[in-house]
Amino acid sequence: MANSHQLKRVDFIFRNENDWEKVLSSTIKRKPSELINELMSSELKGRGGAGFPTGLKWKFTSEEESDEKYIICNADEGEPGTFKDREILSKVPYKVLTAMAVCGYVTGAKKGFIYLRGEYKFLEPELIKEIAEFEYYCNEIDFDFKIEIFMGSGAYICGEETALMESMEGRRGEPRNKPPFPTQKGYLGKPTVINNVETLVHTYTIFKYGAKKFYDLGVQYSRGTKLFSVSGDTPKPGIYELELGMSLQDFVYEFGDGDTKAVQVGGASGFLVPRKKFKDAAIGFKGKLTGISLPTGGSMMLFNSSRSMFNVLDNYLEFFREESCGQCTPCRVGCQQLLLGIKAVKRGEKPASYLDKLMRLTETMQLTAKCGLGQSVANSFSSIVENFHEEMIY
Amino acid sequence: MDSIQSLIKNLADQHGRKRESLLPIMQAIVEQENYLSEYSMVELAREVDIPAADVYGTATFYSFIETKPAGKYIIRICKTIACAMKGKNQVLFAIQDMLKIKLGETTPDKRFSLLESNCLGWCHKAPAMLINNEVYTELTPEKVREILADYMKKNGQN
C-alpha cells in the first residue's frame, strides 16, 4: 500500500460554500441517532492527533443524562509545526460554528465554546462577528444554541482536553485523571464534547455530502482527508488537504527540497523518520498490518542535510521542559533530566552509553506520566536518538 | 477606591464573580495595565471571593499573564524549531541592538519588553513574532528594524 499510493490533493475543507444556513436547517431536521450513525459509518477520527472516533464521542455524550451539556471547539493549536486550525477559523469559520450547533443538537447541548489560543487573539474580532451572524440565524429558525469564545493565555498543555477545561474553570491548566472522560464529566463536571477545529469541519462535510463521500477517501483505518501543515526545509511551505494513507516517500517527492534528510511527523510529540525509512512509513492511524503508520495532528516538518539532529532534539526538549505543567514528577523532572543528559553527552561529560539510560527514562515517562505530553516525549526522543545516534555524540 | 480597584470591580461586574471568570478578568487587567501586579491579584481575590493563593497559582501558570512590570508593547519572538532554523537568532540580535535591551528586559521608557515564546503557529512563514496581539512573519533583521522604527514613531506621538 505504502509504495503504490499517490499523493492526492483534495478540496473539501476550504471550499467556500455559502449554504451553511441550509446545511444547518436541513441537518437538524434529521434524527440525532441517524446523524450519529452517519458519523460512525464515515469512520472519522479526531484530527487533533489522538484519533478517537468522533461518532462515538458524540454518542457517549448524547447518552448521558444531565441538565447541562457543553460543546467545546479546541482551537488551542500549539503543537510545533501545526497551523491549520488558524487557517480554518479565518477562512471558513461558519463551517465550524455550524458543526458545533449540529453537535449540540445531537447531544442535547445548548452552549458551545471556542477555546482560542492566546497567540491567535487577532482572530477574535472577526470571529465575534461571525458568531453574531450565526446566532442571529439560529434565532430565526428557533434553534437554541449559543457560542462563546474563551481565550487561552499561552500554555501548550491546555490543548490537552481536560487541562483545557481546568483552564476554562479558572485554574492552572493541569490535566485531570481519566476516567471520568469529558463525555461523562467535562466542563464544570457536565457531559462535554470536545473536538478539534478540523474534526468539526469534517463533520460538516459528512453531513452535507454523506458519509460515503468521506469514507471513500483515504485507506483502511484512516478514512477521509487531513490538513497537513508543511514547514521546515521545503520549497513550498503551507497548508495542504491530502488523503490519509499516503507514503512518506511520496510526500517527500512532492514537498522535499531534493536534500531531505528526515521528516518529523506530528510535531515535537511525534516521530522523526530518517530517509531510509521513508518508503516504509505511511501517514495515518495505527491498525495497518504492515509497515509503520504514523498518526499526526498534521505537523510535517522537513529537515535537510544541513540540519543537526542534536539541535532539533535540544529544541524539542527545551520546549517540553517549559511546557510541562509540572504536576506529575515523571514529566516535570524527566524533561529536565533529558535536556541536561543530552547536553552532558554532547560535551563528553557522560559516556555515549548514557543515552541508553535516557532512553529508559523516556520509557518510564511513557508508562507513568499522567497525560499525553509526558508520555509522548519518548516518541521524538527515541526516534531521533535511535536514527541519529552519532549526531548526539559527535 | 483606587483605579485598579475600580477596574477590577467593573470587570467582575462584566464577567461575573465566579471562578470561571478568573482568566478573562486577568487577561483584561493585563490588557489595561500591561501586567498583573500582586496588588491586583489580592484585589481580584477579594472581589471574586477566592483565596489570593489560588489567583496567584492560576496567574503564574500562563505565559501570557505577565506578573512582572512590562512595557506597553510586549515583543514575543518565537524560538521553536522552525523559527530557530530560519534565522530567529539574527532577528533577535537586531531587536536587542535596536532597543538596547536583552531578553526578559523592558526599555527604561517602559515602552518595549522583549520575550521569547514557544511555537506561535507560523512555522510556514518563519521566523515569526508577536507585538502584543499583532503578528509579524518571515522576519529578517532589516524587516524587524523597520517594524520597530514604526512602533517607535507611534511611541513619539503618544
Contact state of B123 with A301 under an 8 Å Cβ cutoff: yes
DSSP state of A48: T
Q: Which residue of B has its CA nearest to A312?
A: B81
Name which of B119, B131, B132, B136 to mutate to probe chain A: the one with the most chain A Cβ atoms within 10 A of its Cβ.
B119
CATH assignment of A309-393, among 3.40.50.740, 3.40.50.20, 3.30.870.10, 1.20.1440.230: 1.20.1440.230
pLDDT at residue A2 tops 80: no
Q: Which three cell numbers stand for residue B9?
A: 470591580
State the pLDDT at residue A295: 77
B85 and B151: one domain? yes
What was the ipTM of the complex prediction? 0.96
Range of the domain at B85: 73-157
B27 and B102: one domain? no
State the pLDDT at residue A294: 82
Domain A20-215 has CATH 3.40.50.11540: yes
B77 and B152: one domain? yes
B11 and B45: one domain? yes
d(CA B12, CA A204): 37
Distance of CA A150 to the CA centre of its chain: 19
**Are A145 and A110 contacting, i.e. CB atoms less than 8 angstroms apart?**
yes
B19 and B94: one domain? no
Q: Vertex B75, ends B21 and B58: CA angle to 5°?
A: 25
DSSP states of A319-362: HHHHH--S-SHHHHHHHHHHHHHHHHHHTTSS-TTHHHHHHHHH
Domain ranges of chain A: 20-215, 218-304, 309-393
Taking the CA atoms of A34, A40, A41 and A46 in sequence, report the sign of the dihedral they define.
positive
**Are B117 and B76 contacting, i.e. CB atoms less than 8 angstroms apart?**
yes
B68 domain-assigned: no
Give residue-wise pLDDT tens across range A289-307. 456 778 778 999 999 999 9
Q: Which helix (H) or strand (E) holds A293?
A: strand A292-294
**Are B25 and B48 contacting, i.e. CB atoms less than 8 angstroms apart?**
yes
Please list the residues that pair with B131 across neighbouring strands.
Answer: B75, B134
Distance separating the N- and C-terminal Cα atoms of chain A: 38
Q: Between chain A and chain B, how many beta carbons pairs sit less than 8 Å apart?
A: 122
**Of A121, A153, A315, which is closest to B80 when you measure between CB atoms?**
A315
Q: Which residue of B has its CA nearest to A167?
A: B23
Contacts of A78 in chain B (CB under 8 A): 118-119, 121
Taking the CA atoms of B52, B54, B56 and B58 in sequence, report the sign of the dihedral they define.
negative
Give residue-wise pLDDT tens across range A335-393. 999 999 999 999 999 999 999 999 999 999 999 999 999 999 999 999 999 999 999 99
Contact state of B119 with A301 under an 8 Å Cβ cutoff: no
Q: How many domains does chain B have?
A: 2
**Are A244 and A218 contacting, i.e. CB atoms less than 8 angstroms apart?**
yes
pLDDT at residue A138 tops 90: yes
Q: Is the peptide bond before B69 cis (omega within 30 degrees of 0)?
A: no
**Are A70 and A106 contacting, i.e. CB atoms less than 8 angstroms apart?**
no
A171 to chain B, any CB pair closer than 8 A? The answer is yes
Q: Give me the helices (H) in chain A, please.
A: 20-27, 32-42, 54-63, 84-91, 93-107, 124-140, 161-168, 197-209, 211-215, 248-255, 309-323, 329-346, 354-368, 372-387, 389-393
Give residue-wise pLDDT tens across range A152-168. 999 999 999 999 999 99
Q: Which residue of A has its CA nearest to B30?
A: A153
Contacts of B23 in chain A (CB under 8 A): 150-151, 153, 167-168, 170
d(CA A90, CA A242): 20
Q: Which three cell numbers stand for residue B19?
A: 471562578
B86 domain-assigned: yes
Domain with B115 in it: what CATH number? 3.40.30.10
Name which of B31, B54, B115, B118 to mutate to probe chain A: the one with the most chain A Cβ atoms within 10 A of its Cβ.
B118
pLDDT in tens, chain B (158 residues): 799 999 999 999 999 999 999 999 999 999 999 999 999 999 999 999 999 999 999 999 999 999 999 999 999 999 999 999 999 999 999 999 999 999 999 999 999 999 999 999 999 999 999 999 999 999 999 999 999 999 999 865 54
B115 to chain A, any CB pair closer than 8 A? The answer is no
**Are A5 and A282 contacting, i.e. CB atoms less than 8 angstroms apart?**
yes
A127 to chain B, any CB pair closer than 8 A? The answer is no
d(CA B148, CA A42): 50
Q: Which three cell numbers stand for residue A191?
A: 457531559
B90 and B55: one domain? no
Q: How many CA atoms lie within 13 A of A131 on its CB side?
A: 18
State the pLDDT at residue A285: 84
Contacts of B87 in chain A (CB under 8 A): none
Q: Which residue of A has its CA nearest to B121?
A: A83
B27 domain-assigned: yes
At A104, is the pLDDT very low, low, confident or very high (cuts 50, 70, 90)?
very high
CATH architecture of structural domain A218-304: Roll (3.10)
Residue A154: burial class (beta carbons within 10 Å; 0-12, 13-18, 19+): buried
